[in-house]
Amino acid sequence: MDTDSEIVYSKDCPSRTVVGVLANKWALYVLGVLGTKDRPLRFTELRRHVEGVTQKSLTQALRNLERDGLVSRTVFPTIPPRVEYALTDLGREAGALTTAIADWSKANADRVHTARAAYDARPADQPG
């Protein structure tokens, strides 16, 4: 019989779709940015904080996060319409994970870059 941890890795496990959303780098960055702010952000503000993201990628990430209940989208009836994004309670919980990943990444970036350089410097025919 499968243990709970093994079930998560099954292709039929419903959590795989959630992991897929959270594994998207732009979704991680959006959750991280929204988690560090104490107020909702507009699309352009988010895009400014998430350097390198395209409008299309940010739009898709926000739609996926909203669909999964991690981000709320509020449209204000102004001309032009003002739209703000914020973390939901569920999104704040997920944001704790992204913060942990970001903290680990910052603490270990030098070690990872050193390992990459050593790997890249190996002769192509040298086994791992």
Task: Specify the CATH number for the domain of residue 61.
Answer: 1.10.10.10
- The size of the chain, in residues, is 128
Return the pLDDT at 92: 94
pTM over 0.85: no
Task: Give mean pLDDT, residues 84-107.
Answer: 92
* Cα 64 from Cα 58, distance rounded (Å): 10
Residue 82, in any domain of the structure: yes
Return the pLDDT at 6: 61
Residue 126, in any domain of the structure: no
| Mean pLDDT of the chain, nearest integer | 89
Q: Which domain holds residue 82?
A: 4-121
Residue 128, in any domain of the structure: no
**Domains in the chain, number:** 1
Residue 86, in any domain of the structure: yes
Q: In the chain, what is the straight-line distance between the N-terminal and C-terminal CA atoms, in Å?
A: 34
